[in-house]
Amino acid sequence: MPKLIVHQDKIKNIENLIKTCPFGAMDINGGKLEINSACKMCKLCVKKGDPGAVEYIEEKGVSVDKSKWNDICVYVDHVNGDIHPVTYELIGKAKELAGKIHQKVCCLFMGEDIAGKAEDLLYYGIDKVYLYESHRLKHFSIEPYTAVFEDFIKREKPCAILVGATTVGRQLAPRVAARFKTGLTADCTILDITEDTDLVQIRPAFGGNIMAQICTPRNRPQMATVRYKVMNPPKKNSSKSGTIVSCHIEDSKLESGIDVMNVYEKEKVKTIENAEVLVVAGRGVKSKDDLGMIQKLADLLGGEIACTRPLVECGWMDAKKQIGLSGRTVRPKLIITCGVSGSVQFASGMNNSEHIFAINNNPEAPIFKVASYGIVGDIYEVVPQLIEKIQKGREA
């Protein structure tokens, strides 16, 4: 980490030196100049201050021995053995990454009576499934699950760990990362890996204005969470490969201050994540009443209506219908966007859809860069014509 060293004996005019800092990061304490936490490392004090008064030093961090950390691990997210689909998507990406560095893919599976489900994972080209079974792991509890994760990492030393950005994954991954003092990038949209086994984690940052590439070259394991429907799942093989490794952890390490009394299954409802057809209302929709036109098109196509963030903020639609980084990630067979500009935040939540059909009156709208088909026109003219043609086609 870089730091600034103040050489008090070389300061000629302390007041003038303080004025060089635009962030107010310098204080006088006991007649000496000190740099406080407001410092942004702009180095103006080094360049414009008294020569030699402030020195910028780039400290070299302690590097990890990367040869001791191998293989890509996928955390198996499940409820009572029913594996979340995001796990298979991460397996597909893990196999791709492992192929680039000539390493293996493994899974970490913890729970109770899940050996049969662990066998199913072997049909997806996994090299090893590390299985932890205990009655204390039947339901998710942060303390015992973290203890198992810690035991696995210390034993196997995986190079990188991929976790689904589910309710469980978003709790578990940060706690594990903190325990090993390593980096964690949340909601990655792209993952790659270098020959030196550094995981390249890419995600939108600064409100979606840039795509940040994040690496943790001095730390292992490397950790990333990925949303459901962002990656491609592998095809299920006709035969099994790989092995299951039964692991043991002491019951004393699985103790928790939290007792799960009961688990109630939520009522299943239709969600935009599982819809095969989506019609999306964007900022181009002028009023809440006009959503009826969008809903009618969705109904004719047997799909669901969705929206962008501004419509949720206006109170026109429920947040569960929002697509994007701050909403849901979707991957329908067909998505029709109506008056959607196509910001990075929105596109990251739907750009893996099979067919993207965009309607916007601005020919320079970013949505056309990701669309399979596009119409430059007013949605109030185009959508009614689409509805009319679909209705006539069905009548015929």
137-177 confidence digits (pLDDT tens): 999 999 999 999 999 999 999 999 999 999 999 999 999 99
Tally of CB atoms within 10 A around 361? 15
Q: What range does the domain containing 27 cover?
A: 2-58
CA dist 40 and 23 (Å) reads 8
Same domain for 214 and 105, yes or no, is yes
What pLDDT does residue 206 have? 74
Q: Using a cut of 0.75, tell me whether the model's pTM lies above it.
A: yes
Cα 338 versus chain centre, distance: 26
Does residue 310 form part of some domain?
yes
Total of domains in the chain:
3
Does residue 336 form part of some domain?
yes
16-33 confidence digits (pLDDT tens): 999 999 999 999 998 899
The number of residues making up the chain comes to 396
pLDDT class of 61 with cuts at 50, 70, 90: low
Does residue 267 form part of some domain?
no
Q: Is the pLDDT of residue 136 over 80?
A: yes
- Helix (H) or strand (E) run with residue 311 in it: helix 309-313
Does residue 78 form part of some domain?
yes
Which CATH number covers residue 389? 3.40.50.1220
Same domain for 147 and 249, yes or no, is yes
Does residue 365 form part of some domain?
yes
Residue with the two structure tokens 């990656």: 231
CA dist 74 and 53 (Å) reads 51
231-276 confidence digits (pLDDT tens): 999 999 999 999 999 999 999 999 998 888 888 888 877 789 989 9
What pLDDT does residue 1 have? 66
Count Cβ neighbours within 10 Å for each residue of 322-344 and write b for 16 or more, e otherwise: bbbbebbbbbbebbbbbbbbbbb
41: burial class by Cβ within 10 Å (0-12, 13-18, 19+)? middle
Q: 158: cis peptide before it, omega within 30°? A: no
